């Protein structure tokens, strides 16, 4: 007889059909998870594109998303396709072949309902942030532990040495460890004294606690320009899009890395123009193409930014010159630490105290009798821990010193790049006749093709309401052919 059920641990018999349904459900969930296209995107890319879709009111072209996020055109297109696939968005095609992605307001919910990993990522992010905070606090707390262990060991060694000297002189009043007891009684006071009272008020006023400030002093606070690339490419994309997709190199300079202006590179009466090689990253990122107008001006066209669903008022009429100084995209200089002045006083004092203690303990442990004293008191492990304490003490001031040198070099280069961007932005406020002519030509060459809903001829939406005229024509021809009405070809 075939066994139709199985007994579980509680004695209940589980039908084989139920086990099969559970297995099929798990397999279906795994297949759905593996089939998700959004899971293949970087988290930052997905979040940026999802936010841009919401800002664009759930209808956008690839160019719209690239301008709103600062992503490369191919990255924006891949992200749109993945999100459209997972959320069952609608693809609309205009009469000129332009593609528009139309999402529903709940597209985020649709995607996350299909993916367990996407729903779990916020929780994992919180765990990651918690572990990062724990590492920072642990490193800072290790300073107090190092001071406590070091001076505890020094106290034991010195007390043992005093007892030995007194015993040799016949003074037995230190027998029984009385001297050590007196010193140990004062050690908790040293522990408390090493943490100034103002540290509590600093924690109330500042985001960093003292242990976090110690970590910040040693390792810094990360790259201050972590979001710089995203911000400047987004600003440049929107700037080009608002100018109908055609701009000059001078207009892009405040967003890029133009050369430092000098006498040889500035445009002059001789007609020698600035080297435009710095615009190449923008051309690669946004699909730009250089061209020369009838007057011999070198301009740059970005076709993807000329097709949009955004209704926006043009900046002046065609051919008009309305130069608005763009806000240069400045880089932030590297800071040594985010710790406050009060915290720096405490951090420096504690660091010096720790270095003095480690060096002192190291010199004491060169005597075998000192190690024996630690072993008698059950602190023999301190000798084996001494190399780690020495490394910590050396790194405490060594790492910030090397960081200061690196930050100084990096900040000098950042200052030069920022000055070049500021000079490029200032040049647009008082343009030369040559620059005026170039910008006027760029405005004449620019165009914007707004894709309205009435321009859509085909849509992937189901039902007659979402089908264009061409799709309805195909269906009508196939219907008449099936009915055998003599329609052997499309009407």
Give domain limits for the chain: 16-116, 129-224+354-405, 228-323+431-445
- Taking residue 56's Cβ as centre, other Cβ atoms within 10 Å add up to 19
- The reported pTM is 0.74
Cα separation values, 429 from 10, 233, 245, 274, Å: 82, 22, 21, 17
- Sign, CA torsion 302/307/310/316: positive
Of the CATH numbers 3.40.50.150, 2.40.30.10, 3.30.1950.10, 1.10.10.10, which one belongs to the domain with range 16-116?
1.10.10.10
Q: Are 216 and 338 in contact (CB under 8 A)?
A: yes
| Cα distances (angstroms) measured from residue 397 to each of 139, 213, 219, 404 | 14, 14, 10, 11
Rounded-to-integer distance, Cα 491 and Cα 474, Å: 10
Site of tokens 């924006």 = 76
What are the strands, taking DSSP E only, across 71-188?
A: 90-94, 99-102
Nearest to 45 by CA among 309, 229, 252: 229
Round to whole Å and give the CA distance between 307 and 94. Answer: 11
Dihedral over Cα of 80, 82, 83, 85: its sign: positive
Please tell me the predicted confidence (pLDDT) of residue 264: 42
- On the 0-12 / 13-18 / 19+ scale of CB atoms within 10 A, 63 is buried
Residue 21 is predicted with a pLDDT of 62
Reading the block at residue 113, the tokens are 């309902």
Q: How far is CA 217 from CA 210, 211, 336, 389, 471, in A?
A: 10, 10, 7, 18, 66
Of 418, 445, 437, 430, nearest in space to 325 by CA: 430
Dist. CA 111–CA 436, nearest whole Å: 49
Residue 20 in tokens: 């099969």
CA separation, residue 490 to residues 284, 477, 480 (Å): 43, 6, 10
Residue numbers of the chain with a pLDDT score lower than 50: 1-4, 171-206, 263-273, 314-320, 462-469, 477, 481, 485-491
């Amino acid at each position: 007889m075939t066994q139709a059920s199985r007994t579980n641990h509680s004695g209940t018999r589980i039908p084989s059909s139920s086990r099969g349904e559970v297995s099929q459900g798990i397999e279906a969930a795994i297949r759905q998870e593996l089939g998700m296209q959004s899971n293949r995107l970087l988290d930052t890319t997905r979040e940026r594109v999802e936010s841009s879709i919401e800002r664009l009111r759930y209808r956008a072209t690839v160019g719209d998303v690239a301008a709103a996020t600062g992503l490369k055109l191919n990255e924006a297109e891949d992200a749109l396709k993945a999100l459209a696939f997972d959320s069952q968005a609608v693809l609309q095609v205009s009469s000129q072949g332009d593609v528009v992605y139309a999402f529903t307001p709940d597209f985020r919910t649709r995607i996350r309902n299909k993916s367990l990993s996407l729903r779990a990522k916020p929780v994992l992010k919180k765990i990651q942030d918690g572990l990062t905070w724990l590492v920072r606090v642990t490193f800072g707390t290790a300073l107090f532990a190092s001071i406590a262990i070091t001076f505890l060991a020094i106290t034991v060694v010195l007390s043992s040495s005093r007892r030995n000297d007194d015993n040799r002189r016949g003074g037995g009043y230190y027998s029984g460890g009385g001297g050590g007891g007196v010193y140990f009684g004062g050690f908790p006071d040293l522990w408390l004294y090493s943490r100034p009272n103002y540290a509590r008020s600093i924690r109330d006023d500042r985001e960093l606690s003292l242990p976090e400030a110690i970590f910040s002093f040693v390792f810094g606070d990360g790259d201050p320009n972590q979001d710089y690339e995203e911000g400047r490419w987004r600003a440049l994309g929107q700037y080009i899009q608002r100018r109908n997709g055609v701009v000059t190199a001078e207009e892009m300079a405040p967003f890029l890395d133009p050369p430092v202006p000098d006498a040889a590179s500035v445009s002059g009466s001789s007609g020698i123009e600035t080297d435009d090689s710095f615009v190449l990253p923008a051309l690669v990122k946004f699909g730009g193409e250089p061209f020369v107008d009838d007057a011999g001006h070198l301009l740059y066209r970005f076709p993807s930014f000329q097709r949009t669903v955004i209704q926006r008022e043009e900046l002046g009429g065609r051919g008009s010159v309305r130069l608005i100084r763009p806000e240069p995209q400045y880089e932030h200089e590297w800071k040594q630490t985010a710790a406050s002045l009060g915290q720096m006083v405490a951090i420096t004092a504690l660091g010096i105290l720790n270095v003095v203690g480690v060096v002192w303990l190291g010199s004491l442990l060169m005597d075998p009798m000192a190690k024996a004293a630690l072993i008698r008191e059950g602190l023999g492990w301190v000798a084996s821990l001494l190399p780690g304490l020495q490394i910590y003490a050396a790194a405490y001031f060594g790492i910030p010193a090397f960081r200061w040198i690196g930050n100084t070099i990096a900040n000098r280069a950042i200052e030069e790049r920022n000055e070049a961007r500021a000079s490029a932005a200032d040049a647009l406020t008082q343009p030369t006749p040559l620059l005026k002519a170039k910008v006027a030509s760029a405005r004449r060459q620019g165009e914007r093709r707004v894709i309205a809903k009435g321009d859509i001829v085909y849509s992937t939406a189901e039902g007659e309401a979402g089908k264009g005229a061409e799709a309805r024509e195909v269906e009508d021809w196939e219907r008449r052919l099936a009915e055998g009405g003599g329609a052997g070809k499309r009407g």
